[in-house]
Structure 1
């Protein structure tokens, strides 16, 4: 009897049958898992308002290994669902989980656990309005890392998937995203307060700065409005205005912000970056941009009711050392919400399965999508709304403003009184404070109002009947803003050098420490040029430092030497 093919290969029919069965089962298991994943993804895309053809395109890019039949079936099933009903179903299911005691965001912006909610006296201690403003405030208090609603859920998710969970940085990302979602849709105080946020995440290298940015990208892309994301840098004023004219509500996420800011200072400062930073100052408070010159007005479209939020990240040294005194005087630093991260966040090594599960959960995507789709027409460029109707009155006209209806979120009486008391306390401090402190706390009241508005919307739903600023929102806002201002004042007094005698003295201390640390023939001495090269000083700054060291008796100038063919250089010795 001739040998079978399997026997000729040294395999028995039974072993081959088992192997084929195992392989078939594996394929079926993989296919089932793929179909399940496609179905879940299709429902998420449907929640963002996509139609069947768009869903099929997204699924094909998401899972190239899926067959056309699998993709079509998943997309067709999802397309049968009504977007609004699907969003509501997901949110109701999530709220039911919360009521059953399962993990989720806290409805109280000051904590999950009732025992952990600070009292009014504890909040006053957090604010320490009559304490020394220049003292080190320490790390961000734990009570302030627990905002409620959508903010809290974004913070929780970011920390859950991060390799190095850093709650203050997650909070910075959540505020920047929430401020963007509210752009042009809500205001407070009769339209005087809006939700623009300049959030800066400050932490050491490898401290977890990347994860919050990626979470924001994932949430906006899955929620169906990637246009809300701006560029990764602000290269010039013209570039900023062009970006906002295309889409007036934007979130700009800038990595290595300190290095970017450094380009605006020094002898080799970039004029383009300087103009971009100037635009940050004007766009923070202004509502409309009509062009700065007659030529601009004739050739550029206006940017009406623009709304740009920023999420920047940097190391403390790179950011504060890159700032000039003008950043304080002109109000740039005072406009920012600075979130100092934890110094040594836990390094978490996850298994492969956990690492793969970094996609935002459906309920989080649904919440973001619900804010995007609420009053969605408000996101469009104003000139676009009436351009086809022959209604526009030219680039200088107020075009389509009648269609822009942001909801004015009411403020409870006790919340308004609390915010006013905070304002009065700040003004009392300004009357007797030094100039740096005066400049840095000048916008605290405005920032507190913005934070209260964002927290109130985070705790509610995009529903006019449920949105209001409560006393708890106001308390959280004033506590957070007070801490951030104290942190910035402490850093400004210790790091940002200006032209005052006090700052020259700080430079002198650094120079003397360096000279004392030198060895050999260079011990305890240096030339002016060596000091200039070491501390990156201009000729004026170098000569000023040398004169200060001699005039104050901290060093003496020995015989004059020559360095090559250049002019004479004094040799300074530490006394």
Structure 2
């Protein structure tokens, strides 16, 4: 096996089948990576894979990356890394592991005699390093299959490999036993084989924080606890002295003396004041608190959020702020984060779309114009089914979802659609309001091949059909909906069964199935946590999320009787273009087997240019988001824009429709808004695991609050333990998603948290609006 052949392509699937969480490794290295824009780059957030199994769509993407090695994300898996070059000692340490932790048949050799032993964790726990030994645990990783950068040869598994042994078959270790082995094993390392340097010269000690060398006493003391003085060499000893003195000045003297005296070498020279005399001679430069923090973080230290790292920041916090009055007002009434709004130009429609939205708004107690627009689009799409096509042979079948909270009026537009179609004598276009089985869905379309299915509680429906253990008849519904979506321009040919008399093959000529589903937010976003967003199955749906769950009430709604002009307009769409033969009288009657000749809706010259620009932009978006779940959404961008533009043209003039540039502009903006809604809400609401869900929930609390004191954050996150809260806040601060500030109080400084408002570029750029 070579890098060129791709270890992920050869071994990834078997490892995943055996229960191991795999990650891609950059060729010729030990570093997790991503292949994007034609090159390998480090994979910054690979640690998310430590908390869940690898998903099939991830593996499908990674196996196509050239030369990808295979790493194992630790968490459920534990690696005992023995990084010693003495063959006898390496064997003895491995024997001790077998005695204390159990014999494991999975031993990986990179550069002999160094070795790594693989175990299964009873419960996830953090790793620990005592060089040259390390327990690789939660949030860490090791390479399983790749070419070793030092030897140029593939990693070897002299006994059994993870390819042949499921995760559940590995011997189990817990944190206590792993750390007990580490302590005993470290005692066997001869002094001359222990590292006598803090390794201060490499990237491990590189600090990318504030350039001010000064730190705070509490922070430096906490960091030093992670930097034991295990008989270090003289250079490291002096380097640490310089770093402490630069960070704290004379205040750090006692910390230095205590740290220095913790070494076994202290006092061996017969002089008890060596550290004291060295301190007086120090003149530090180019080093400081940041170096200490960096070395400690590399060894597992997480700075507590209540501890200020920078001295200048601590000094500012201890003094009244120059704008204390203004800050007090801001604290009393924090500015709320920008609200999600539906751009008003999306509602600037005409024709049947306009008439229906006005009808639904005037008759509603809780008017929801954006949801009314979504329902109108699906209704027109069904009525135009098998009657109209785009020049590229796209049809008017549309899948859309309306999202609003309970009691917000999300069902009203559904009721209005039924009223209109019944008044127009077009109720045959209405499918069932519940999809019970795939067979029922196909039978409905056999009776009338152009139908609108209006489904209530669509989020619960999705949770049922997308569940990993969904009943077969429910899971089949989702598969049929996917097939029907892509069969609107051709015959749909169903499955063949042995007993053709009892179960004849279903054939439907150019079916047009439109879906308008309504749901509350929670179940819908929960349904997408199984991977539907990434595998493209939900990308066919346009998401209409209301910007006001509880709008101002209409205390005097109009009667529900549809206006005559609206009824006449929908009847005109159902008739199609006068004088155009759709395939004869049988086709006009909507027979499932009738040949179809849909009318091609032309584009004006300006619309042609606008549509070409939309296609180019869609391609650019796909390229820039290669390897992410966003490509599934961007892949439908141009297609949905073309469909909606045609629907707008038919809505305006069903007798002689022409797609104008304004239709392309409106349709593209609507699709962009729906995609942006999906991506934004997915980022904040869809989680791969419970840990990520808690992080996102705390971040949402801080974002919604604008600027919250520590006590406010605690009060609003009672679902967390104190330890969880501290770890999550520290993680959010470290990731740059939250900033922490301190202000002087009457007795002690008050800590505040605020979410960082990203200076994002527009998701869709490159076209003038």
TM-score between both structures, scaled by the size of structure 1? 0.59
The equivalent position to 1:306 in structure 2, one of 507, 511, 514, is: 511
Change (3 A) 1:136 1:235: farther
What do residues 398-426 of structure 1 show as CA deviations (whole Å, max 9, x unaligned)?
x542xx22111111122121111111112
Instruction: Give the match for residue 621 of structure 2.
Output: 429
Structure whose alpha-carbon radius of gyration is higher: 2
The equivalent position to 1:213 in structure 2, one of 407, 414, 427, is: 414
Instruction: Give the match for residue 27 of structure 1.
Output: none
Q: Distance in 1 between matches of 2:380 and 2:506?
A: 27
8 Å CA contact 2:466, 2:530 repeated in 1: no
Instruction: Give the match for residue 332 of structure 1.
Output: 537
- How far off its partner does 1:377 sit? 4.9
SS of 1:505's partner is: helix
8 Å CA contact 1:265, 1:324 repeated in 2: no
8 Å CA contact 1:169, 1:208 repeated in 2: no
The equivalent position to 1:202 in structure 2, one of 400, 403, 408, is: 403
Change (3 A) 1:244 1:505: same
Q: Distance in 2 between matches of 1:454 and 1:251?
A: 15
Q: Distance in 1 between matches of 2:612 and 2:535?
A: 25
Instruction: Give the match for residue 675 of structure 2.
Output: 485
- How far off its partner does 1:524 sit? 3.9
The equivalent position to 1:167 in structure 2, one of 369, 376, 383, is: 369
- How far off its partner does 1:137 sit? 8.8
1:496 is aligned to 2:496: no
SS of 2:478's partner is: helix
8 Å CA contact 2:685, 2:693 repeated in 1: no
Change (3 A) 1:400 1:358: closer
- How far off its partner does 1:523 sit? 5.7
- How far off its partner does 1:430 sit? 1.6
Q: Distance in 2 between matches of 1:408 and 1:195?
A: 12
Change (3 A) 1:370 1:200: same
Instruction: Give the match for residue 528 of structure 2.
Output: 323
Instruction: Give the match for residue 177 of structure 1.
Output: 379
- How far off its partner does 1:232 sit? 0.6
Instruction: Give the match for residue 19 of structure 1.
Output: none
How many residues matched? 370
Q: Distance in 1 between matches of 2:551 and 2:717?
A: 38
- How far off its partner does 1:294 sit? 4.4
* 1:5-404 equivalences in 2 (<5 Å): 138-190=340-392, 192-266=393-467, 269-286=470-487, 287-295=490-498, 299-343=504-548, 344-350=550-556, 357-374=559-576, 377-378=586-587, 380-382=589-591, 400-401=594-595, 404=596
SS of 1:445's partner is: helix
- How far off its partner does 1:257 sit? 0.7
Instruction: Give the match for residue 469 of structure 1.
Output: 659
Q: Unpaired runs of 5+ in structure 2? A: 1-336, 577-581, 702-712, 734-769
Change (3 A) 1:363 1:381: closer
SS of 1:233's partner is: coil
Q: Distance in 1 between matches of 2:538 and 2:594?
A: 34
8 Å CA contact 1:517, 1:523 repeated in 2: no
Change (3 A) 1:505 1:470: same
8 Å CA contact 2:467, 2:530 repeated in 1: no
Q: Distance in 2 between matches of 1:244 and 1:175?
A: 19
Q: Distance in 2 between matches of 1:424 and 1:288?
A: 30
Q: Unpaired runs of 5+ in structure 1? A: 1-134, 384-398, 527-547, 555-575
Instruction: Give the match for residue 407 of structure 1.
Output: 599
Q: Point out which structure has higher relative CO (alpha carbons under 8 A, 6+ apart).
A: 1
SS of 1:250's partner is: strand
Q: Distance in 2 between matches of 1:136 and 1:331?
A: 30
SS of 2:554's partner is: coil
Q: Distance in 1 between matches of 2:598 and 2:717?
A: 67
The equivalent position to 2:651 in structure 1, one of 446, 458, 470, is: 458
Q: Distance in 2 between matches of 1:171 and 1:408?
A: 24
TM-score between both structures, scaled by the size of structure 2? 0.45
- How far off its partner does 1:241 sit? 1.0
What do residues 359-383 of structure 1 show as CA deviations (whole Å, max 9, x unaligned)?
0011111111222234685354545
Change (3 A) 1:445 1:359: same
SS of 1:139's partner is: coil
Moved more, 142-151 or 332-341: 332-341
Change (3 A) 1:524 1:459: same
Instruction: Give the match for residue 142 of structure 2.
Output: none
8 Å CA contact 1:255, 1:314 repeated in 2: yes
- How far off its partner does 1:264 sit? 2.5
- How far off its partner does 1:517 sit? 6.7
8 Å CA contact 1:202, 1:340 repeated in 2: yes
Q: Distance in 1 between matches of 2:524 and 2:387?
A: 32
More helix by share: 1
What do residues 315-349 of structure 1 show as CA deviations (whole Å, max 9, x unaligned)?
22221122234312332321111111132311122
Q: Distance in 1 between matches of 2:358 and 2:722?
A: 53
More strand by share: 2
8 Å CA contact 2:496, 2:505 repeated in 1: no
Moved more, 340-349 or 372-381: 372-381
